[in-house]
Amino acid sequence: AGMQVPEYKSKPYFIVASVEMGNTTTKCILTGTDLETGQSYILGKTVSMSRDVRPPKPGETVFGATLDGTELTRESVTELVRDTLVKCHKQADLSITDDLDFVVRSTGVVAAMDSPDQVGEFIKALADGCLLAGVPPKKMTPPMGIGSLPPKLRPHSFADRLVFTGAVAGVTPPSGTTGVEMVANEMEGELAMAGIKEGAKWTPVDFRNPCISMDFGTTLDGRITSDVDPNAESPFAKTIGNFCGLAGAIPDAIIRGTGLVDKKKGTALDLFGEHCGPASTRATKKAQPYIDRCLSIIEVCEVPADRTRFGKVPVCADVAKESGIALIGVDAGVNGDKIPELEAIGAEMAQKENKAVIKEVVDRVCADIALQIIDICAEKNLLPKNSSIGFTGRAIISGNKPQYILEGVTKRGLYDEPINHLVFVDDGLARGSALMGRCMNSIGQPKCPIGGVRGGKCIMAKRQKIGK
């Protein structure tokens, strides 16, 4: 009979912990990438509610708050991160000092901050939490050379032939003329896109550049990448667009209004969970007037150049305009000031309709926001025939939303076979962190490339050429 040893302890696996504190949940997700095939598996996952972070102690400075108003201090964030990391490793029976290879940390709590700089404080607090949990600092930064990698990874790393230049998943970040980040959640958009590319490896869809990726968490993030000319010297795609604004906060507002979940901090997930059946025609018919009213409150558009915030997220819309980057946002009124109107519609539905109708309203409204974003991209010619569209985040992959989006894209006739151009991925951020860890350590898999253009070949040879 003997003891069973999990494969990720006996074969070469690259194990990454993604620590992410969002407006709604704080997660630690452990992913293991099989270095022989390049596929990532989720080894363990611990999710706690961000609203359960301990209240500030006397003498601590509050440096920000989540969208629902939970106050954060550097110390309280540090402790929450430490506890989540330790708990996650314990459940997966892995040791932080021996088994873990890399940690990537990110945050979605940017909407309640005043400037993209404040996010830096936050990332430092996340780093402190990792250090307190016993993660050595070298597992949080790119290695200086192949010699500083652990022996089990060396045969799989190309760090001796390539230089990590900051491009993750074959895409260079947008560099403004000033070097300012254009949206506060730039890093999240980068991770979401990388994660959708990794998730698509499990499907028949070739999700490489050019592509659009959207992450509908509590807030919206994501990016648009360019096509790459096969004769160009640089094989990387450029970031030509960013998304920002409200996403899951919209269905959350409708659901809070119904009074069926906690008035201050409830979310749509609390009510519906993740699974569901198709909607009845009756529910769809009854939902229509409410859907139209919700959509008239929500604005999806290109962010005007004079805005410093859009949908509560700090942006530098003027810099984006100068750099020629499309900044597309979602808002309810101005910076969410019409959220109470969405809550009122929820309250009205709670009195007159059943749960099936409420659910249908939420699904249709979210799907419609995504389709409006796709329309803006199509208008601006950012959707060539060889592009793909990917989604992740709780407010867009749950319920019947994927089906409604596929129907909408089919109806618009953007692609000959839309089913080969759309992909929905769970835990995009965690998968993206696993991939970012691999990019920093140059652990690619040329037989199963993630960078490069849809239908094209691996870009490693070109990267070596520029490196010299």
What digits encode the pLDDT tens for the residues 282-318?
Answer: 999 999 999 999 999 999 999 999 998 899 888 889 8
pLDDT band per the 50, 70, 90 thresholds, residue 2:
low
Task: Tell me what pLDDT residue 3 has.
Answer: 65
Task: Tell me what pLDDT residue 349 has.
Answer: 95
Q: Give the integer Cα–Cα distance in Å for 253 and 257.
A: 6
In a domain, residue 227? The reply is yes
35 and 93 inside one domain: yes
Mean pLDDT of 81-105: 93
Query: 39-48, 273-282, 393-402: which range is least confident on average?
Result: 273-282
Pairing verdict, β 422-425 and 388-392: parallel
Task: Tell me what pLDDT residue 8 has.
Answer: 79
CATH number at residue 53: 3.30.420.40
Q: Give the integer Cα–Cα distance in Å for 8 and 13.
A: 6
Least Cα distance to 18 among 435, 428, 434 occurs for 434
Buried b / exposed e across 236-260, counting CB within 10 Å, b at 16+? bbbbbbbbbbbbbbbbbbbbbbbee
pLDDT band per the 50, 70, 90 thresholds, residue 397:
very high
125 and 193 inside one domain: no
281 and 390 inside one domain: yes
Please check the confidence at residue 450 and state whether its pLDDT lies above 90: no
75 and 209 inside one domain: no
Please check the confidence at residue 258 and state whether its pLDDT lies above 70: yes
The residues that bridge with 32 in the sheet, in sequence order, are 15, 41
From residue 61, alpha-carbon distances to 71, 79, 80, 120 in Å are: 10, 15, 16, 15
Q: Is the peptide bond before 402 cis (omega within 30 degrees of 0)?
A: no
195 and 132 inside one domain: no
Q: Give the integer Cα–Cα distance in Å for 345 and 295.
A: 11
DSSP 143-208: -SSGGGS-TTTGGG--TTT----S-BTTEEPP--TT---SBTTHHHHHHHHHHHHHHHTTSS----
Q: How many domains are there within the chain?
A: 2
In a domain, residue 177? The reply is no
CB 163 within 8 A of CB 466: no
Task: Tell me what pLDDT residue 32 has.
Answer: 92
The residues that bridge with 87 in the sheet, in sequence order, are none
Task: Tell me what pLDDT residue 1 has.
Answer: 59
Share of the chain above pLDDT 90, in %: 50
Q: Give the integer Cα–Cα distance in Å for 186 and 151.
A: 33
Burial of 306 (0-12, 13-18, 19+ CB in 10 A): exposed
What digits encode the pLDDT tens for the residues 224-251?
Answer: 999 998 888 888 999 999 999 999 999 9
pLDDT band per the 50, 70, 90 thresholds, residue 48:
confident
pTM: 0.88
Q: Give the integer Cα–Cα distance in Å for 253 and 339.
A: 6
In a domain, residue 22? The reply is yes
In a domain, residue 333? The reply is yes
Range of the domain at 75: 7-141
Which of 304-308, 340-344, 450-454 is predicted most confidently? 340-344
Helical residues (DSSP H) of 324-427, grouped into ranges: 339-352, 355-379, 394-397, 401-412
In a domain, residue 447? The reply is no
Mean pLDDT of 403-420: 96
pLDDT band per the 50, 70, 90 thresholds, residue 179:
low
Q: Give the integer Cα–Cα distance in Å for 446 and 9.
A: 24
111 and 248 inside one domain: no
CA 209 from centroid of its chain's CA atoms? 17
100 and 243 inside one domain: no
Least Cα distance to 451 among 10, 19, 38 occurs for 38
CB 392 within 8 A of CB 192: yes
Phi, psi at 28, each rounded to 5°: -125, 120
Task: Tell me what pLDDT residue 304 has.
Answer: 95
Burial of 261 (0-12, 13-18, 19+ CB in 10 A): middle
In a domain, residue 127? The reply is yes
What tokens were used for 43?
A: 């080894």
The residues that bridge with 209 in the sheet, in sequence order, are 453
117 and 209 inside one domain: no
Please check the confidence at residue 374 and state whether its pLDDT lies above 60: yes
Please check the confidence at residue 176 and state whether its pLDDT lies above 70: no
Which of 124, 141, 158 is where one domain is finished? 141
Buried b / exposed e across 434-465, counting CB within 10 Å, b at 16+? bbbbbbbbbbbbeeebbbbbbebebbbebbee
From residue 75, alpha-carbon distances to 91, 129, 191, 226, 233 in Å are: 25, 9, 25, 41, 47
Q: What is the mean pLDDT of the chain?
A: 88
